[in-house]
A and B are shown apart, each in its own frame.
Chain A
Amino acid sequence: MEMLKMTDISKSFFGVTVLDHVDFSVERGEIHALLGENGAGKSTLMNILAGVYTRDSGQVVFNGKPLEHSSVAATEQAGIAFVHQELNLFNDLKVYENIFLRKEITGALGILNKRAMIEQSHALFQRLGVDIDPCAMVSELETGKKQLLEIAKALHANAELFILDEPTTALNNEEIAHLFAIVRRLKEAGKSFIFISHKMTEIFALADRYTVLRNGKFIHSGAVADTTPMEVTRMMVGERYSEEEAYIQRELGEPILEMEGLCGHGFHNIDLTIRRGEVVGFTGLVGAGISELFQTIFGELPITGGTLRIAGVPITSHNIHKAMLNKVSMIAANRKENSIIPDFTLLENNYVSEHTLSFRHQHISKKKEIAKYEQLRQKLNIKSNSPDDMITALSGGNQQKVILARWLNTQADILLMDNPTQGIDVGAKAEIYRLIQELAQAGKTILVNTLEIPEIQKVADRCVIFYHGDLKAQLERRDISEEAVMLQATNAINTAEVSK
């Protein structure tokens, strides 16, 4: 029996179609994997289901009843729970207070009946088989527990359909196994799940059926038992799967970045040498320590042990300014939070970093700045009308190119790119890959941190895999494959596999 039926869903933002007549359905008591690359339309579809966005066209029927132009509150009422990647919990409240938020049990005069709430929370956790103290502060819980608390909270609100958006990214294997056991138990009890994940092993271990979206279009739906990871991947990436790579064979120069036993916040004992002109792909699960390593090289986080040499010079005291003088630059993850200066124009966003190096000449010659920017704009193919346009008016891909231009403007030799293609459409991604190759050919050294292994296959000379702060393995270009990388990244070789 169909619990959820979404038919003919379309949605566009600012004239760009992100969902194009998509059909999607979930049966009662089923775990349904929703698959697709970043930008395929998965999260838009789920946000429409959860009432965050309104659809342009199409119908949603849940438990036989149509959901019309619903709000978040209305879909929650209907029994749909969205367990977000960024957890929607109040860190400064206690566990039971989070569960009972807006649904508090009160006695006479509206006084909270804390004991009843705590007892009910206890019972709820017992039913779910999780060990959380209802009176603990949420801020003190580990990420895994928070995830389970989110599910418990939804369960308490009588949810029947749970949307799990990449629930395992921040979890270790034990926590993943626990989560999966709970999901299976709830499934037995007739609950349904929409499971969004990029990890094929998890999908094949957990899901019953799958639906693939690509570029906002419905591609295929079927039983997991009838397919293979290879086939699903092909459906996800489409014809580009066989498309030629951006990679260009290059001669590498002298060692430019040397780490010996390097320790810092979130990583330890890293031995690694990177040569001029090399493109190195870094990957690992969230918490692997790669972002921290990048931030340490960039001077944002302190070195706690070992040595770091940039162009042969050992780095002792370190900050961002000194790193920039050493021609190191970093394109930070979370572009909106960490890179974009929203009240600045393209030109201002472009020159802001270079000006911290040339601060002795305080006067800004706009003419010269525009000339420099225009050169970079052409080189990076930034699509914009005027350098005086606000950066927030650009698409994600073009914004990222402006940030890349910002760092090229500083004449940096080493580019640290932390998740550079986050929230960028497929076309712009391909351009970024091409740029990485061109820059490497011109002698720039580029370190890319990404969760997307195909990305590494496209651009990198070498793949470095981290697991929980350790350098787990290095793969030469010819050895990079999705399976090989995932095996190392999840530490599956050393721990029991997540299985049924």
Chain B
Amino acid sequence: MEKNTLTARKSGSITKAIGNYSFILIFLAIFVAYLIINQGATTWSGVMNILRHSAVVGILAFGMGMVIITGGIDLSVGSMLALVGGLTVVVFNNTNNPVITFLFALFAGAMCGLINGVFVGVAKMPAFIVTLSTMLIYRSIAQYYLRTMGLSIYNMEGTLSTYDAIYGFGQAKVFTVPVVGIVLILVTAIMVYVSTMTKFGKRVYAVGSNEKAAHLAGINVTVTRVMVFVVTGVLAGVSAFLLLAMNGSMDPATVGKSYEMYAIAAVVIGGISMSGGKGKLLGVLFGAMSYTIIDKIIASLGLDALINDTIKGSILLVAVLIQMVVPVIRGKLKKTGN
């Protein structure tokens, strides 16, 4: 009898761990597939490039993850990338100062996020509607502003003295690890710390778990909601800066298109519940990297890039299916165990 409950508890904790960290399983499965398909062609720098190419969507997805934990959503992150990136190029071309350029990117992102946050948090409008609106607005402004200048893409002046500093940052490696990838790891570390070890992080979860109770426990729900959108904006600023550092230019018509969807997918694969209150931000890193690897697999198989979203969509479905099914199996095991 005692032995029985013991094994039941053990199997319970294993399935629980699988349920909580299913994102690692999914990531490993995709990664192993990548290694098998690539066979001998896999190189260290190829693997490191996964980090580098996950950075932009990954960093966006961390903001998205926080917003989703509060029970909201931010559809505007892709457009924000275009607008903040575009304006950042203009600032760089006029200042020739990497520090001001970087700080401006953060500031512009924060402002874009603040607009979302005020409508959602203070005016209490549905996040879906607010960010759908700003998704249209931000990209449109980015494109329109470019047109008024008579240009077709936002291009950082290569002739400026500090251009090489920024562009070099985007290509640099430290001990064979791309700096952009290091920034992603750094952001991951900060976001995981903030979400698990700080009072602000717990507040975010509390609001998503039971808004009414959080309010009556003394939490300022409005400020919390505004803050998560501002954080998302700041992270979009970081993403925009990294994107420019990697490419030196950007086309506001295409850059960041569908990135909000990839960010949401990374969050969901990472095990964060769309209804809010549950999930670990660490999963977002693995969710984002999983999608980058799929790009690589498709490239090395020589498949048409148009099949890309079919595979990404299918993986999303399977990932969520696993998250739904594992707790049910766990429940059944518990019952039979007892």
A interface with B by C-beta (< 8 Å)? 300, 320-321, 324, 330, 332, 337-344, 348, 351-353, 355-359, 361-364, 406, 410
Contact = CB atoms under 8 A, between A and B. Distances in A.
A411 to B, nearest CB: 13
A320 B216 contact: yes
Given A340-B210, A352-B206, A406 B198 contact: no
23 contacts: A300-B216, A332-B213, A339-B217, A341-B206, A341-B210, A341-B214, A341-B277, A343-B205, A343-B209, A343-B277, A352-B214, A353-B217, A353-B218, A356-B199, A356-B219, A358-B199, A359-B199, A361-B199, A362-B200, A363-B197, A363-B198, A364-B197, A364-B199
Given A342-B277, A358-B199, A362-B200, 8 more contacts: A320-B216, A348-B205, A351-B202, A355-B202, A356-B217, A356-B220, A357-B218, A361-B199
A321 B209 contact: no
A300 to B, nearest CB: 7
B212 interface: yes
A342 B218 contact: no
A13 to B, nearest CB: 15
Interface of B: 197-200, 202-203, 205-206, 208-210, 212-220, 277-278
Contacts of A359: 199-200
A410 B203 CA distance: 16
A337 B212 CA distance: 7
A234 B170 CA distance: 81
Contacts of B199: 355-356, 358-359, 361-362, 364
A338 B220 contact: no
B17 to A, nearest CB: 14
Contact of B212 (A321, A338, A344, A356): A338
A410 B243 CA distance: 46
B305 to A, nearest CB: 39
B269 to A, nearest CB: 20
A338 B219 CA distance: 13
Given A338-B212, A340-B210, A344-B206, A352 B198 contact: no
Given A355-B199, A358-B199, A362-B198, A339 B205 contact: no
Given A321-B220, A342-B277, A352 B202 contact: yes
A364 B217 CA distance: 17
Contacts of A337: 210, 212-213
A338 B198 contact: no
B58 to A, nearest CB: 24
B277 A364 contact: no
Contacts of B219: 352, 356
Contact of A406 (B210, B215, B217, B278): B217
Contacts of A353: 217-218
Contacts of A352: 202-203, 206, 214, 217-219
Nearest to A366: B197
Contacts of B203: 352, 355-356
B205 A344 contact: yes
Nearest to A360: B199
Nearest to A298: B216
Given A348-B202, A364-B202, A341 B213 contact: yes
A87 B277 CA distance: 29
Contact of A344 (B197, B209, B216): B209
A339 B218 CA distance: 11
Contacts of A355: 199, 202-203
B134 to A, nearest CB: 29
B210 A364 contact: no
B205 A338 contact: no
Given A355-B202, A364-B197, A342 B210 contact: yes
B318 to A, nearest CB: 25
Contact of A338 (B200, B202, B213, B278): B213
B216 A338 contact: yes
Nearest to A355: B199
Contacts of B213: 332, 337-341
Contacts of A410: 218
Given A344-B209, A355-B202, A364-B202, A321 B218 contact: yes
A78 to B, nearest CB: 31
Given A342-B277, A343-B278, A363-B197, A320 B218 contact: yes
A356 B209 CA distance: 17
